[in-house]
Amino acid sequence: MQDKNWFTVEPIDRDTFAISEWKHWEETHSYLLRGSDRAVLIDTGLGVSDIKQVVDSLTSLPIQVVTTHVHWDHIGGHGHFRDIAVHESEEQWLDGHFPLPLQAVKKALTSRPCVFPEGFRPEEYRVFQGKPAGLLHDGDRIDLGNRVLTVLHTPGHSPGHCCFYEPARKTLYTGDLIYAGCLDAFYPTTDPLLFRQSVQRLLTLEVKRLLPAHHRFPADPGLIARVDRAFSELADKGCLEQGSGLFDFGEFQIHV
């Protein structure tokens, strides 16, 4: 089931596309990268409409899905693809150990008004479960033929969260680690200290284009440094312990 009006496709450059779900409050983005030999799809969104039909309209190349992290709003369309990869520390989350009960996921999915695609029934929604074709590790190189992505293991928001960096284009895909919105480090499976360390790691990269998994994109690459300063401020106040609260920094918030 695919609603042609659900997804918005916006070109980043000639061979890179954002596939967005602007109608839902999560405003989730997946990214399609075309190489000369194959293509990569970073995340597959909510799963309320068939993202594969959109991908197939953009490329006939073999597709590998790589996952920023195994949360429901990033793996919703995984079932439409055969070649999917997740970080090794979250493999079990696809095999009966997803960290949230289904009712909690459905509550989040429908927590704000949304006109879902015709034919989609929230009561029938399920979180994707299955065996990945491959596992991601820190430092892995994903070769598309004429472009290469580097896997960066950036835990904190989740144990196996990954960012993807394309050195030749100085483009960074940040998943849920950096975006203009509420950065979550309060779930039992999150770690505020690791979150801060992962943000600091991104400061070592030369980034000209920052593409997050939610809300406004491209984001200002300077957002990395501003999030880092915010985490440092919270650390100085002794607030990097879960349960400390929600802290507002204007263009983003940090929920600890």
Mean pLDDT of the chain: 97
Q: Range of 108's domain? A: 8-177+206-216
Would 162 be classed as within a structural domain?
yes
**In a domain? residue 44:** yes
Compute the distance between CA of residue 28 and CA of residue 154 in angstroms, rounded to an integer. 19
Describe the strand order of the beta sheet including 84-87 as a list of residue ranges.
8-13, 16-21, 28-34, 39-42, 63-66, 84-87, 134-136
Report the pLDDT value the prediction gives residue 132, as an integer from 0 to 100.
97
pLDDT digits (tens, 9 = 90+) for 102-121: 999 999 999 999 999 999 99
Assigned domain for 24 exists: yes
CA pair distance 93, 97, nearest whole angstrom? 5
Q: 110 lies in a domain? A: yes
Burial of 183 (0-12, 13-18, 19+ CB in 10 A): buried
For the cut 90, the answer to whether the pLDDT of residue 201 exceeds it is: yes
Tell me if 88 is assigned to some domain: yes
Q: What is the CATH number of the domain that holds 107?
A: 3.60.15.10
Residue 22 has pLDDT above 70, yes or no: yes
In a domain, 221, yes or no: no
Do β-strands 8-13 and 253-255 pair in parallel, antiparallel, or remain unpaired? unpaired
pLDDT for the residue 3: 63
* Number of CB atoms found within 10 A of residue 43's CB: 26
pLDDT digits (tens, 9 = 90+) for 59-101: 999 999 999 999 999 999 999 999 999 999 999 999 989 999 9
Tell me the C-alpha distance between 207 and 70, whole Å: 25
* pLDDT tens, position by position, 185-197: 999 999 999 999 9
- Chain segment 141-161, per-residue pLDDT in tens: 999 999 999 999 999 999 999
225 within some domain: no
Domain count, the chain: 1
Confidence of residue 1 (pLDDT cuts 50, 70, 90): low
Burial class (CB in 10 A: 0-12, 13-18, 19+), 131: exposed
Which one has a higher pLDDT value, 3 or 182? 182
Q: Which residues pair with 210 in a beta bridge?
A: 172, 219
CB atoms within 10 A of CB 129: 14
- Residue 23's pLDDT band (boundaries 50, 70, 90)? very high
Q: What is the pLDDT of residue 44?
A: 98
Residue 252 inside a domain? The answer is: no
